[in-house]
């Protein structure tokens, strides 16, 4: 059972790696797109955190 579990987890990791590093028609990978969007997401999260510290409900997130 341990070998089967290891094979399934390895296949899932390999599939995820292949999906994230697959290039689109412009030569960019999904991983690069995630890296580019990360700063925007961090700014949104910081805004939500500030709203929660002020005990307000987050709006428009």
Q: For the segment 2-11, what is each residue's pLDDT rounded down to a tens digit?
A: 999 999 999 9
The pTM score is 0.57
Alpha carbons 6 and 11: distance in angstroms, whole number: 9
Residue spans per domain, the chain? 27-56
Q: For residues 8 and 14, is the Cβ–Cβ distance under 8 A?
A: no
- Sorted by sequence, the CB contacts under 8 Å of residue 29 that are 6+ apart come out as 20, 21, 22, 23
What per-residue string of b and e applies to 21-33 under the rule 16 or more CB within 10 Å gives b? eeeeeeeeeeeee
Give yes or no for residue 37 having a pLDDT over 60: yes
Per-residue pLDDT band for 35 (boundaries 50, 70, 90) equals: very high
């Amino acid at each position: 059972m341990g070998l089967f579990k290891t094979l399934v987890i390895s296949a899932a990791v390999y599939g995820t790696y292949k999906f994230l590093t697959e290039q689109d028609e412009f030569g960019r990978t999904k991983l690069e797109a995630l890296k580019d969007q990360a700063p925007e997401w961090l700014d949104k999260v910081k805004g939500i955190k500030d709203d929660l510290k002020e005990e307000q409900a987050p709006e428009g997130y």
